[in-house]
Amino acid sequence: MPSLLHLDSGANRSGASISRQLTALFADTWRSVHGPADYRYRDLVTDPVPPLDTAYCSLGRRLERNGLVPAAEVDALTESPAEEREWALTRPLIADLLAADTVLIGAPMYNYSISAALKAWIDRVSFPGAFTDPDTGTGLLDGTRVVVISTRGGAYGPGTPLEACDFQNPYLRAYFGRQGVAAENIHFVNAEMTMAGLVPHLADFRPFAANSLAAARSEVTALAAAR
């Protein structure tokens, strides 16, 4: 049965959030096609992932010294209540990611990159050996599809003056690629100039923003309906 992990990371949790509107459209469309049975949702703002600390680092380094260790054996390598707590916070997040056929990420651009809430999730799930089969050395995310809904207040697409300032999509593409997600399974849907309707000096770009949002909605629906 297909499974969807839906993550929102936008600080604006109101109905005005375009990234949340688009991820909700994807999730609703996906459930109408595949059914609601294996759908998991996490709001990384309402339910934030704690930042890493010394105990996480100590446990991770111990695992790296021991080579690839199956997740079921990590508990036996913890050496303190703090390490046990860090692993208890980490293991369910990794399990959710590994169980998902599709990972949907709402990722508004903040200061040319991703939000701190999303970065905290990335840091925690990136536990040593988490995405590698300890017996075969093969990647565990090679069949996973990642769909990133990227919203930006300005325009950062190819040929725009701010193209070089996009540290959001290239970062996420590189990150998931390094974790073993196939390049053809990483999809980005970009809604650009989302601030044009609010900021007076961007008023001339409102038609562009409307077209970009309409195209994003169409692409989101198509990706969500794909089997």
186 known member of a binding site: no
CA distance 217 to 21: 9
152 known member of a binding site: yes
144 known member of a binding site: no
Closest by CA to 153, choosing from 105, 67, 212, is 212
Q: Which one-letter DSSP state was computed for residue 139?
A: B
* Residues 103/188, Cβ–Cβ less than 8 Å: no
* Residues 149/220, Cβ–Cβ less than 8 Å: yes
17 known member of a binding site: yes
Q: Which one-letter DSSP state was computed for residue 214?
A: H
151 known member of a binding site: yes
Binding-site positions read 17-19, 151-154
Binding-site positions for FMN read 17-19, 151-154
